[in-house]
Structures are given as structure tokens and as C-alpha cells.
Chains A and B, each alone.
Chain A
């Protein structure tokens, strides 16, 4: 509170904060608070239609009238988030272990894996849609060599695994960078000692390196879980939520903005998604911090 700026200058200090605070209030606080309120109304996307408070009617619709869709959507969400979280971390960890060593072109490989992070969902989604176009193209040609074919993103069986693959492909660079940073903090002496004790490469990784990078694991698992529970833009580009890829985010988006558009119902799905995300992420964090404590 002891500002070196006095009088008129101090007025400037306060005054310049106002525009930022207005933006924060209007586009940060108000929408966050309004989500819950809107979910209790029958707000439609069409301007001019009167809005009524309907209590929990939207939630009743979702959990009673539309229970099968809701169940399917929660299943899809957990499948997507689970698949992404587990495999992104397994692959990222392995990749980081190798890419943390020195060998020719290692910097190039790191750069390459990180590249999708700047390309954005449209470019990433369209690239994979083109590569895996069912009617021709590289993916189809490749499968043709084995005498089979697939409709890829248009297949009920393959759409979800492929969507998970693309999401991992896009975010693997980040996970890897975090793991590399973790691995670089492991003291060389520890690894030398393990070597002298005759531990194999594999054993020394699991018994020395892995416990020491617990913080990186916590960060990566939490971020992958939280991100994949919320994201839906990549799914929007690849499948638009059909073929068993209707995660809660996608369900919310299509309910609110596709066709006639039911904003109240969409907001309710958004709240359910938020609650699910918070529960999963908090449980995961609790488990991971306990694990970290047990290890240190």
C-alpha cells in the first residue's frame, strides 16, 4: 500500500487499471456466474423468444428423458479423456527418456514433435481428415496394401481411437518437453551409482529416474486429464460428435449452437461437464500429491 507514486500519479495508477478490470468483470466473472443461471432457464438461440426460469427442468430432461444420450456422452468423455491421459503420458515419457540424451538431430526431433502445438485445431484436424480420407488418399492406399479398408473417422469403431490419436499427436510435444525438463533434474551421480551397482538401463529408469520425476508426472497427468475432459474443438473438426465421439463438450456445443439451439439445455450440459472435470481432476491431484509425498 506504500506506493511511491503520490497524488496525481497515484490516480493514474488506479485509473489505468479500470479498463482491464471492466474486461475481467464483463468477460470473466459475469459469464462464469451466468452459466449456472442460464442452465436453469429455457433460453433458446432465437432472439425475441421470451425466457422463463424453469428450475431444474433441464437437468431432469438430461438425466431422465435423455438418459441414454447422457450416459453415452459421459462414457465417450471418460473414454476420450482416459485414452488421451494414459497414452499421451506413456508415449511422452518414453519419448522424453530418449530425447533427453545427446545424439545427432535430437534437437530437430524435439522441434518436430512440438510443432503441432502451433498449428491449431483446424489445420491439425483437416490434415488428418485428408490423410485418412476413406475414398482415396494415403491412409486408404496403405490399408489397401493389406487388402482392407476403413471409413476411419466415419466408423463407429475407429472414430474414437483415431480422435484420441490425433489429440495425443497434437499435444505430445508439450508432455515430452515437461518430462525432459524433469529428467534433466535427476542428478548424474544417482545414475552413475545405479550403473556401478549393476542396475540395467530399464531398472535404473524405474528405480531412480521415475521416482525423481514425480512432480513432472503430476503436472502432465493433471494437465492431460483436465485438458481432455474439457476440449472438444478437435472433435468438432474431425467427427462433429457422431460415431460415438459425443463427449460432454461436444454435446454441450451441438445442443446450444446446432440447429434451433437450446442455450439453457446446453448450459446445463456445460455445468455437468464442469462438475465431472472438477471431480476427476481433484481426485487425481489428491492421489498424485499423496504419491509424491510417499516418495519423498
Chain B
């Protein structure tokens, strides 16, 4: 009986492993294959190995899609709001978590409920025009603080409880001021939570496509997500160039994922409650 069980398991593992390889590794392999083919080969014999190997697809995609510019935009758009949101959410979460301010409990409920607010893209679009946040870099970044901040708040309010209150007291006795206390004592202790929040929020912003479609109209302001999509729109039948462009855009994410996997998964599971 045990022997048949083991055999069943072996088959199960084999089948699942194979399916995962076909559906999850396969697309990447095909994409890489396509990105090195000539346009002509793609149309006639896309499943064969590239012959001849067209490395220039990458260079051409990089230039024609102005990906350098989009990369710079994406980096700025991702890092600035994530760091600002991180700071704002610490400033909110610490006193609320400790009950150091009036109405801490109510504040906590309201801010946490922010996770469940419906997507209000239309009012945000109208607001962005009134507040002159439409189609400019600072505005685009300001519009992305809210979601990251609410997520950070939710994460940190729980996390700060693991930092003993006695620490606050001794800091005050030593004459350490509030801001310095947060930066030099709390931040190092809460580092894992900060990394989780930063990576999760950063990925959301980096990959946002609806945001740049609604809030930006000048191509030079586009982040990579929208830039790549625009490239797709105008070179719709240049399949091999597009494949190269997709790979260029995906490569940094894949590399980051390999190194920071643990935090990605943690962030996503913590963000699970973000319905």
C-alpha cells in the first residue's frame, strides 16, 4: 500500500511539475525565443529556434520605445511616493498604535477602512485637474501616496505593538526628541515591516497602468507600464520587437523577485486583506 502511495505521489509531482513548467516557464521561453527571431520567421515558423538570431531587436525596441526615458520615470514615480507614504504612515501609525493621541481608536478604524474604499478613478481624475495634479510629475506622484500610505498604516499599526513601550519612556527620559526617536530607534526595529511595505507598495505603483492612462497624456511623462503599452499600440504587428520590449521591461522585475522573493510573498499575503 505504501509503495503504491509513493508511486502515486511520484506521478502527481511529475504531472504538476510538468504543467507548471509548460504554463509558467514555457511562456518565458517562447517570449525569449520570439525576441530573437526575425519578423519573417515569426510569421512562418515561430516555434522554431531563431534563425538567424536577431540581437538587434533589443536595441531597436529600447530606442524606438524610448525605454530609457520610461525607466527613469518609473524609478522616480515608484521611489518617491513609496518613501513619502512610508514616512506618512509611520507618523500616523505610531501614535495611533500607542494611543498617544486623542481619538486613536476612531482614527485607526477610519484609516484601516481606507483599504476597502472602492476604486474612485473618476473623482480622482476630476480632482487631479482641479488641484493641477493632472499630467505632471509631482501630481502623478502625489496621487500615488494614498494607497501605499493606507497599506503601510495597516501593516505598521500592528507591527509597532511588538516594540516595547518602555523604550519610548526611556527615550523621553534621555531627552531624545520624538522625530529622532522614530528615525533612530523605531526605524531599525521595524525594518522588516518597512521592507515588506516598501516592496509591496512599490510593485503596485511600478505596475500601475490605469493610473498613467488616466492622469498623464504627454508621452515623455509616461512610466514604463504605459510606455510599453503605447509602444504596443503603435507597433502592433512588430511582434518580435514587442517581445524584446516586454523582456527588457520584465527583466529587472524578475531579477528583483528572485532576490526579494520572501518580502514579495509576505507583502502580498499581508495585502490579502486589501480587498
* Chain B contacts for A43, CB-based, 8 A: 126
Q: How far is the CA of A266 from the CA of B125 in the complex (A)?
A: 12
Are B102 and A1 in contact, CB atoms less than 8 angstroms apart? yes
Shortest CB-to-CB span from A43 to chain B, Å, is 7
B197 shortest CB reach to chain A, Å:
14
Measured between beta carbons, the chain A residues less than 8 angstroms from B120 are 31-32, 34-35, 270
- Contact (Cβ within 8 A) A126 B228: yes
**Given A115-B24, A126-B246, A137-B34, residue A13 in contact with residue B210 (CB < 8 A):** no
Interface string of B155-194 (1 = CB under 8 A from A): 0000000000100110010000111000000000000000
Q: Is B45's CB within 8 Å of the partner chain A?
A: yes
Q: Is A283 an interface residue (CB 8 A)?
A: no
* Nearest Cβ on chain B to A39's Cβ, whole angstroms: 9
Q: How many residues from A make CB contacts under 8 Å with B? A: 93
Q: Tell me if A121 and B95 are in contact (CB < 8 A).
A: no
Residue B8 lies at the interface, judged by CB distance under 8 Å to chain A: yes
Contact residue among A141, A256, A270 (Cβ-Cβ distance under 8 Å from B47): A141
A121 lies within 8 A of B209 (CB): yes
Q: Give CA–CA (A8, B192) in the complex, Å.
A: 31
Q: How far is the CB of B38 from chain A (nearest CB, A)?
A: 12
- How far, in whole Å, are A23 and B246 apart by their CA atoms in the complex? 34
B225 within 8 A of A: yes
Could you tell me if B118 and A142 are in contact, using CB atoms closer than 8 angstroms? no
B72 at the binding interface (Cβ < 8 Å) = no
Name the B residues within 8 Å of A74 (CB-CB).
none
Q: Are A142 and B47 in contact (CB under 8 A)?
A: yes
Chain B residues with CB under 8 A of A158: none
Interface bits A95-115 vs B (CB < 8 Å: 1, else 0): 100110101011001011111
Residues of B in contact, count (CB < 8 Å): 95
A126–B8 Cα distance when bound, in Å, is: 38
Residue among A9, A26, A109, A120 with most chain B CB within 10 A: A120
Partner of B122, one of A38, A178, A232: A38
Which one, A21, A103, A169, contacts B13 given CB within 8 A?
A103
Question: Does B92 sit within 8 A of A, measured CB to CB?
Answer: yes
Is A16's CB under 8 angstroms from B207's CB? no
Please give, as numbers and ranges, the residues of chain A lying within 8 Å of B123 by CB-CB distance. 30-32, 34-35, 38, 267
Complex: A219 Cα to B268 Cα, angstroms = 13
Specify the main secondary structure of chain B where it touches its partner: helix
Answer yes or no: B269 CB below 8 A from chain A CBs: yes
B177 touches A130 (CB 8 A): no
The yes or no answer to B111 lying at the interface (CB within 8 A) is yes
**Nearest-CB distance from B92 to chain A (Å)?**
4
Asked whether A4 lies within 8 Å of B169 as measured between CB atoms, the reply is yes
- Provide the residues of chain B in CB contact with A119, threshold 8 Å: 207, 250, 253-254
Interface string of B207-234 (1 = CB under 8 A from A): 1111001100000000011101100100
Cα separation A105 to B13 with both chains bound (whole Å): 10
Q: Which residue of B lies closest to A91 (CB)?
A: B19
A residues with a Cβ closer than 8 A to B are: 1-6, 9-10, 12-14, 16-17, 19-21, 23-24, 26-28, 30-32, 34-35, 38, 43, 47, 94-95, 98-99, 101, 103, 105-106, 109, 111-123, 126-131, 133, 135-138, 140-142, 169, 174, 177-178, 181, 201, 219, 222-223, 226-227, 230, 232-233, 236-237, 249, 252-253, 256-257, 263, 266-267, 270, 274, 277, 281
What are 19 residue pairs bridging A and B, where the CB atoms are less than 8 Å apart in the complex?
A4-B169, A5-B172, A17-B91, A20-B88, A20-B91, A23-B88, A27-B143, A27-B145, A34-B123, A113-B24, A115-B24, A117-B268, A119-B207, A122-B209, A174-B269, A223-B275, A227-B275, A257-B213, A270-B120
Q: Beyond the given A24-B111, A122-B229, A123-B228, could you list 18 further A-B residue pairs with CB under 8 A, ordered by the A residue number?
A: A16-B91, A17-B91, A19-B88, A21-B92, A27-B143, A35-B122, A98-B16, A103-B13, A112-B24, A117-B264, A120-B225, A122-B225, A126-B232, A126-B246, A127-B27, A136-B44, A177-B265, A253-B121
